[in-house]
Amino acid sequence: MTRTLITTPIEISNNKEKKIIFLGEWCKKKDQENIWKNLESFTHKHHWVDQQKLYSDREKVSLMYEKILKILSNKLNLFHKVNLDLKSWRIILGPWLTFYTVCIFDKWETLRVFFDKNTDNKEVNSYEGNNEIFYNFGTEDFWKKATLNDFWQHKNFLRIIESQHKDKIKINKIENNISFPFLRNKTNNEFSNKSTINPFQKTLLIFENFFSSFGLRFNTTIIESFYGSKLDLLKILIKSKIFPCFYLNSFKFKFFEPKNHINLDVRRSLFSDIKEELNVFEKYIFSCLITDFPIAYLEKFNEIDNLNKSINNLKKKSIFTMTSYVFNERFKIWLARMINKGAKLNLANHGGCFPYKVESFLDHDYKIADKCFTWFKPFRDCQKQASAIQLIKSKNITRSQDPKLCLVISCDVLRYPMKFQSCPYVEQSKDLFDDTCSIIKNLKMEVYKNVVYRCYSKGWGFDMPARFLETFKDLEVRDLEKKTIYEDFKNTKLVISTYPDTVTAESIMANIPTIITFSTKLYHLAPSMAPILETLKKNNIFFDNPESASNHINKIWSQPDDWWKNKSTQNAIGELKNYAFNVNKDWIDEWSKIFKGGLN
């Protein structure tokens, strides 16, 4: 019997076979459920559900990543006729190369394990088309494509099959006459809709651009892409005697359409001539780089670098950033130039709550930064705990006198793996969702009728909001575009947080009675969190059992503040905040000292 292998959702609507194999849970989108539920099928288990394999693979990929980075650094220095050290190229290439290597290795291993376990007759449909889908400008458009574009995923699976497994499966070539949208990505520093900026805002931006130009040249400390209130940051800047500016447009750059600028002849010469000894996967990576390597680091590198020409030779700086060092290509190139001249790099958490067991970025931050300012207690030499100033807005929330909501907060899971992580993969998203449903189903009616479900989902996951609405037709699913979390907090009586991330910290900082509930089989926390978690558990703040959580919620619902404000509960919350996130009373002085000491 021959079964058809389905690699992504694009093949489901065009599949006429009844007997199929889903390569992963990512194939089974909610909006195609009426099709795939009627098929005779089984779903291949994702290999990183096995935690030991996850840890082992992370070590393997880390070593290969370092080897690939060194080869690319040497080649790019020769190609661009520059002399940047490995750390500089790590700053420029590292974020993209980390995502790319992990993403491709996941597909490589998914197929290797699949073919090892399934030796019967199989076939797969290969949708033909040119290779433009593989072209990248930089990190951000690659990330969006690799998380959202099913056709890109399909082409990558088929590319590996044709390279490594074509003798194990029949490949049916199908002309691509279906419309698969390519994602047009704006850079993170471009305003997505300039028409929404009113005249007053435009005037402010003119002044801000002037201040930022001045600040880049004369401030010894540069604070760029800091999350949180601009007013709070302004208070710190004034206290620190730093000329106030936010660099909103300083590193804006034009998005170049890769297909219009890519030079395949140059790339074949560059990536085919590798002197170093490579393993099979590394050879495959370099063969793919001919199409996949971002033009921001090759064809357009000098053009982007020249945008910074007037600020590349500034005096030694202390640079603070939160996100631009990952996604902004112009900023990364400038940052590399500055650090190559002796500048100090300080990274700060833009969010968080409980620290996880696995560092998901292949230690990139710790290899490029002089200091990493974290919300949680440090466990590395370069880390330093600092007040989570992003939580000040939550701390200042005033709730209504008679709040009503039982606010359930959740987060969708990426359908396609992009990193090594200690939180659920899509394979486990059903378990995560079922746990949430179990809590709600066990709530007594006076609690249940006040439930509002708020799930962060951007169409890249398990589609939990739609599934929730289908399961609980009489409950409200919050439209995140219409109401902010802070607006909801004002009318919230109790929060049920189903994942340990930023919004959990925000809820606790807003002093809202908060129940944290998730399975420790799905979320793997740093070992240092164990005693904190045990304290939270003893005080009925944390539950790893849905039924126990709902029983406690039913018990305290009439007066949740009585439970929340009692001494034992507050002591446990104080211990959590002291370890994982907090805002000190003297946060302005604290961050002022951090900014002023950045060059030390």
The confidence score (pLDDT) of residue 182 equals: 39
Q: State whether 329 and 439 are in the same domain.
A: no
Half-sphere exposure of residue 93: CA atoms within 13 angstroms, side-chain side: 29
Residue 483 has pLDDT above 70, yes or no: yes
Q: State whether 150 and 129 are in the same domain.
A: yes
For the chain, how far is it from start to end, CA to CA, in angstroms?
Answer: 69
Q: State whether 266 and 220 are in the same domain.
A: no
Q: State whether 107 and 226 are in the same domain.
A: no
Q: State whether 173 and 126 are in the same domain.
A: yes
Q: Tell whether 24 is covered by a domain.
A: no
The confidence score (pLDDT) of residue 183 equals: 37
Q: State whether 162 and 241 are in the same domain.
A: no
Number of Cβ atoms within 10 Å of the Cβ of 277: 8
Mean pLDDT for the stretch of residues 151-163: 97
Range picked from 123-137, 446-460, 483-497 for highest mean pLDDT? 483-497
Q: State whether 477 and 374 are in the same domain.
A: no
Q: State whether 203 and 319 are in the same domain.
A: yes
Q: Tell whether 5 is covered by a domain.
A: no
Q: Tens of pLDDT along 310-332?
A: 999 898 899 999 999 999 999 99
Q: Tell whether 55 is covered by a domain.
A: yes
- Calpha distance 85→83 (Å, rounded): 6
- What is the extent of the structural domain holding 443? 394-580
Q: Tell whether 315 is covered by a domain.
A: yes
CATH number at residue 373: 3.40.50
The confidence score (pLDDT) of residue 181 equals: 45
Q: Could you tell me what percentage of the chain is helix, strand and coil, using 3-state DSSP and rounding each to the nearest 5?
A: 50, 10, 40
Domain boundary, last residue among 363, 392, 421: 392
- Calpha distance 86→336 (Å, rounded): 10
Q: Tell whether 402 is covered by a domain.
A: yes
pLDDT-derived band of residue 198, with 50, 70 and 90 as boundaries?
Answer: confident
Q: Tens of pLDDT along 17-57?
A: 678 999 999 999 999 999 999 889 999 999 999 999 999 99
Q: Tell whether 201 is covered by a domain.
A: yes
pLDDT-derived band of residue 185, with 50, 70 and 90 as boundaries?
Answer: very low
Q: Which of 314, 338, 371, 354 is nearest to 505 (CA)?
A: 354
Q: Which of 116, 186, 126, 109 is nearest to 5 (CA)?
A: 126
Give the total number of structural domains in the chain: 3
The confidence score (pLDDT) of residue 178 equals: 52
Q: Which of 372, 359, 381 is nearest to 62 (CA)?
A: 359
- Calpha distance 291→272 (Å, rounded): 12
Residue 395 has pLDDT above 70, yes or no: yes
Q: Tens of pLDDT along 505-514?
A: 999 999 999 9
Residue 369 has pLDDT above 60, yes or no: yes
SS (H, E, C) 425-471: CHHHHHHHHHHHHHHHHCCCHHHHCCEEEEEECCCCCCCHHHHHHHH
Q: Tell whether 466 is covered by a domain.
A: yes
Q: State whether 240 and 374 are in the same domain.
A: yes
Q: State whether 247 and 371 are in the same domain.
A: yes
Q: State whether 403 and 499 are in the same domain.
A: yes
Q: Tell whether 6 is covered by a domain.
A: no
